[in-house]
Amino acid sequence: MPTELLLGVAVAGTFVLYSLFGGADFGGGVWDLLASGPRKAEQRALIARALGPVWEVNHVWLIVGMVLLFSCFPRAFAALTVALHVPLTLLLLGIVFRGTAFTFRTYDARGDKVQERWGLVFSVASVISPLLLGMCVGAVVSGQIRVEGRAVVSGFFASWLTPFALAVGVLALCLFAFLAAVYLTAEADTEPLREDFRQRALGAGGAVFIAGLGVLLLAREGAPRIWGGLLHAPFALALHGVTAVAAVATFVLLWRRRFRQARVTAAVQAGFIVLGWAASQYPYLVVPDITLQSAAASPGVQRALVVALVVGLVTVVPSLVLLLRVFQSRSPRG
Amino acid sequence: MTDLLYARAQMGLSLAFHIVFAAAGVALPVLMVISDLKARRTGDADYRLLSQKLAKGTAILFAVGAVSGTVLSFELGLLWPEFMGQYGEVIGLPFSLEGVAFFTEAIFLGIYLYGRERTSPGLHLFSGVMVAVSGAASAFFVTLVNVFMNDPSGFTPTPAGPTNIEPLVAMFSPGWKYQTAHVLLSCYQASAFAMAGIHAFVLLRHPGSTFHRKALAVALPLACLTALLQPLVGDFLAKHAAEAQPVKLAAMEGHFETERGAPLRLGGLELPKGLSILAFGDPDAEVKGLNEFPREDWPPVAKVHVAFQLMVGAGSAMALLSVVTLVLRWRRREWPASRRMMRAWLLASPLGVLAMEAGWLVTEWGRQPWIIHGVMRTAEAVTPVPHLAAPFWTFTLVYLFLGVVVAFLLARQVAGTLPGRERDDAH
């Protein structure tokens, strides 16, 4: 495999992991906003308990993805930060308020009113951020961002304010909420709470299906190249096949209350949606003017980055496994 | 204001804000682990409470540091796309390694904060140590990027961008030892002085509080040690700047005319030959003045000069206080507790942060008009996006708000330890 392709896979990999972990944390915020019924407070407490130890770690995948993008494909990073300056800035505000409000809610125990207010900031930011993230992705695949030489010539608004980009934003929001609901069924410690999130997971799964269909229909007009890639590249088709199988499996498992297995198939489903996106826009990083090859760093840098990647994997993976083992086991005192 | 100035202001604001939280993220885990160790060795409940309080402080500050750091990683491109588009690959290696270090810091902080009851004591302590080590590593790597911007190496510049890139050479650009040591020390120093000041403040009101006396005794050794080491490291760094960035040194010292045996100007005072000795270790060495350089390559001299004087002044005051404290400690065999010394430590508590911010302004203003010294001008790197006033004011207001909230939350953590209110009130 050529080195730049390996690094491209690594960037896509960080996006997959960010969606599976960081995305689900945003989804947790969505369910915090939508908490309802007799167990409203318990739902929120479960979400807070699930996010507390891990949201910062999960968030790091985004930073790693950004760093890899500008180190491996600097010209693509420069073009994207110019063309998407406005939505990325808004996304940053969402990220800042989501993280700080969540932490402040935990440590600002002056009373229910104050905590409710922080909770509202946290949950609203959790809804806005995935929308914006999805809109940025939509802009990248749509082919609306045009680059001539090193200059972005397509303006600062038109590329991400399209129906297609908006549909991708909605899909991201639904997908993250779906993931969170499925994960929370497995985390819940009482039967009624588990049922609450089972219903939410089934509903969100339906929403993912509808939003996905919407994206597909709009892609024909809004992202013609991807429309072609989605339907014709055999590799991409295989990925979409896996997504479909995993989606059906998740639905069946949720229906039959096999929550631990449902968590796995839901993650596979979401991961393959993100991978399918990456594969269908290959070889473009920014459709249609910047490819993986044209934006790649020089070969010496690529080799150094592969070494850094290996160092990172060797350091981070065992630590992550440790973290998950500490917090997944149901300790008697936890 | 022009868009370039707004972009610089936004980057400056974001860094000035982030740097405080990043420094706390580097240093507080060390203090937290020290308290934890003392608690284990003595079984003393005060030390255990202290390590818990420090852990909560770390949690709040790290969360703000993590999100403000995310903002910065995006702003590199949002504000300076030409810089990142051309040189992103040259500085990618230290940034990637910083990402790794940040990752392990977040992971082990999660285990340390939330795993007290879920892990063995040994694993818990190990996690604390890992937080401290990864915090230091991430500060080290990210400082290497700034070293590169100050004195770039490891590539050949061409109008189309860098060629012949050697990532390792670029990562360890000249002067890296001094600048990374200077920055790491400043993190520990700023945090230890701030912590000492907080406990001195409480002790002035409640002189009998044993908890705060012990907390002060945890902060003071680190404060004194770093305050005494920092001037030495700073001197090495200034000597390197004299070689590598003579125009920056000239601006720092307000030195306009090239001369041999140059004096050191401190406020209205002149120390004969002082600058030549400081910069080159030789009383008759020639120190280049600003007159040697074309006007368009000058940094903003007055700002750099004032910021430098502030940093050196604050650093000297901290070193002096540390000497007095250590002498008293040595003579009386316990950390000083007189009201006069408590007042002095209270007054000194913001000096570490002040010196850190001033020192960072010296290096950033002092490098202007370049974003990469001698290679790319800041004006060439800035984004073509218009109306940069809007994000600048937005982030200014957001950061002001967050700063106020964090100060309030930390004050409440301290208030929870006041005599008569020693309870665990939050979380």
DSSP for A241-281, written as a single string: HHHHHHHHHHHHHHHTT-HHHHHHHHHHHHHHHHHHHHHHH
pLDDT of residue B229 exceeding 50, the answer is yes
Closest CA to B47 of B59, B37, B60, B57: B37
Q: Please name the residues between 307 and 326 in chain A that touch chain B, using a CB distance below 8 Å.
A: 308-309, 311-312, 315-316, 319-320, 322-323, 326
Residues 2 through 61 of chain A touching chain B, CB cutoff 8 Å: 52-54, 56-57, 59-60
Amino acid at position B297, single letter:
D
Distance to chain A for B346, nearest Cα, Å: 26
Determine contact, residues A290/A83, Cβ cutoff 8 Å: no
Interface contact B100-A311, CB threshold 8 A: yes
Distance CA A178, CA A172 (A): 10
CB contacts of B384 in chain A (<8 Å) are 82, 151-152
Which H or E element spans position A285? strand A284-286
Q: Smallest CA–CA separation between B378 and chain A, in Å?
A: 15
Query: What pLDDT sits at residue B426?
Result: 38
Predicted confidence at residue B114, as pLDDT, reads: 86
Show residues of chain A in contact with B74, CB under 8 Å. 66, 81, 88-89, 92
What is the predicted pLDDT for the residue at A106?
A: 84
Range A107-117 burial, b when 16+ CB lie within 10 A, else e: bbeeeeeebee
Test A52 with B114 for CB contact under 8 angstroms. Answer: yes
Q: What sign does the CA torsion over B401, B77, B140, A304 have?
A: positive
User: Which domain, by its residues, includes B229?
Assistant: 209-385
Please name the residue of chain B whose CA is at the shortest distance from the CA of residue A64: B99
Instruction: Give the closest residue to A119 by CA, choosing from A216, A41, A192, A33.
Output: A33
* Residue numbers in B near A319 (CB within 8 A): 103-104, 107-108, 130
Asked if residue B204 has pLDDT above 70, the reply is yes
Q: How far apart are CA B342 and CA B332, in angstroms?
A: 16
User: Do the beta carbons of residue A236 and residue A228 sit within 8 Å?
Assistant: no
Question: Does a cis peptide bond (omega within 30 degrees of 0) precede residue B391?
Answer: no
Write out the two tokens for B108. Answer: 């082990």
Q: Helices (DSSP H) in B43-156: which residue ranges? A: 45-79, 81-87, 92-114, 121-150
Locate A54 and state its tokens. 């891990």
Across the interface, of A77, A298, A323, the residue whose CB is closest to B77 is A77
CA distance B68 to chain A (A): 7
DSSP annotation of B292: G
Question: pLDDT tens across A90-109, in order?
Answer: 999 999 999 999 998 888 76
Q: Is B290 helix (H, G, I), strand (E, B) or coil?
A: helix
Interchain contact B374–A (C-beta under 8 A): no
- Asked if B118 lies within 8 A of A329 by C-beta distance, the reply is yes
Cis preceding-peptide flag for B167 (omega within 30 of 0): no
Average of per-residue pLDDT values in chain B: 92
Does the beta-carbon distance from A72 to B89 stay under 8 Å? yes
Residue B369: is the preceding peptide bond cis (ω within 30°)? yes
Q: What local confidence, expressed as pLDDT, does residue A329 receive? A: 59
**In chain A, what residues touch B394 (CB-CB under 8 Å)?**
89, 93
Task: Check A60 against B114: CB less than 8 A apart.
Answer: no
Q: What is the DSSP string of A141-198?
A: HHT---EETTEE-S-SSTTTSSHHHHHHHHHHHHHHHHHHHHHHHHH--SHHHHHHHH
Which positions ≥6 away from A106 have C-beta within 8 Å? Answer: A48, A52, B59, B427
Work out the minimum CA distance from B144 to partner chain A, whole angstroms: 15
- Name the nearest CA neighbour of A277 among A137, A91, A67: A137
- Tens digits of per-residue pLDDT, A101-132? 999 888 876 677 888 899 999 999 999 999 99
Chain A touched by B87 (CB under 8 Å): yes
**CA proximity to B187, closest of B13, B359, B353:** B353
Cβ distance B103 to A57 less than 8 Å, yes or no, reads yes
Residue B199's alpha-carbon distances to A297, B51, B332, in angstroms, are 51, 14, 20
What is residue B382's DSSP assignment? S
**A151-152 vs A284-286, strand pairing mode:** unpaired
Tens-digit pLDDT profile for residues A207-239: 999 999 999 899 988 998 878 776 677 777 888
Say if B407 falls within a structural domain. no
User: What pTM, to 2 d.p., does this model score?
Assistant: 0.93
8 A C-beta contact, residue B95 and residue A311 = no
Whether B416 has a pLDDT exceeding 90, the answer reads: no
Q: Which residues of A touch B84 (CB under 8 A)?
A: 70, 74, 77-78, 81
Report whether A219 contacts A232 (CB < 8 A). no
Query: DSSP string of A111-149?
Result: -HHHHHHHHHHHHHHHHHHHHHHHHHHHHHHHT---EET
- Would you say residue B179 lies in a domain? no
Mean pLDDT of B365-389: 94
Cβ contacts of B351 within 8 Å, gap of 6 or more:
B193, B314, B317, B318
Residue B279, strand partner residues: none
pLDDT > 70: percent of chain B: 98
Q: Is residue B260 part of a domain?
A: yes
If we measure between CA atoms, which residue out of B13, B77, B7 comes closest to residue B357? B13
Residue of A nearest to B78 (CA): A81
Q: Which pair of tokens denotes residue B70?
A: 């995310």
Note the pLDDT tens digit of each residue in A37-95: 999 999 999 999 999 888 888 999 999 999 999 999 999 999 999 999 999 999 999 99
Find which of B107, B114, B383, B392 to mutate to test the A interface (most A CBs within 10 Å of its CB): B107
Number of domains in chain B: 1
Would you state the structure tokens that stand for residue A91, as one six-digit string? 């996304």
| Cβ atoms of A68 and A7 closer than 8 Å | yes
Q: Is residue B43 part of a domain?
A: no
Contact, B31 vs B219, CB < 8 A? yes
**Cβ atoms within 10 Å of A242's Cβ, excluding its own:** 16
Residue B118 and residue A81: Cβ atoms within 8 Å? no
**CA-CA-CA-CA dihedral for A268, A269, A272, A277, to nearest 10:** -150
Q: Tell me which residues of chain B, numbers 150 to 189, contact chain A at a CB-CB cutoff of 8 Å.
A: 163, 165-168
Q: Find chain B residues with C-beta within 8 A of A316's C-beta.
A: 100, 103-104, 107
Specify the pLDDT at position A326. Answer: 87
Token pair, residue A313, equals: 């994997």
- Cβ–Cβ under 8 Å, residues B31 and B216: no
Measured CA angle at B184 (ends B179, B190), to 5 deg: 120
Placement of tokens 């999960």 in the chain:
A58
User: What per-residue confidence (pLDDT) applies to A110?
Assistant: 67
- Tens of pLDDT along B158-179? 988 899 999 999 999 998 999 9
Residue in chain B closest to A299 (alpha carbons) equals B165
| Tokens 């588990």, residue located | A194
Do the chains contact at A96 and B398, CB–CB below 8 Å?
yes
Of B95, B106, B394, the CB nearest to A56: B106
pLDDT bin (cut points 50, 70, 90) of residue A311 is: very high
Q: What percent of chain B has pLDDT over 90?
A: 80
Q: What pLDDT was estimated at residue B420?
A: 63
Q: What is the pLDDT of residue B375?
A: 95
Q: Which of residues 201-220 of A touch B (CB under 8 A)?
A: none
Q: Taking Cα atoms as reference points, which of A90, A210, A67, A63 lies closest to residue A157?
A: A90
Mean pLDDT, residues B125-134 taken together: 94
Sort out which chain B residues have CB atoms less than 8 A from A79's CB and list them: 81, 85
Q: A81 in contact with B at a CB cutoff of 8 Å? A: yes
Query: Residue B92 CB: number of other CB atoms within 10 A?
Result: 30
Domain ranges of chain A: 3-328
Residues of A (87-146) whose Cβ lies below 8 Å from B: 88-89, 92-93, 95-97, 99-100, 102-104, 106-109
A156: contact with B, CB 8 A cutoff: yes
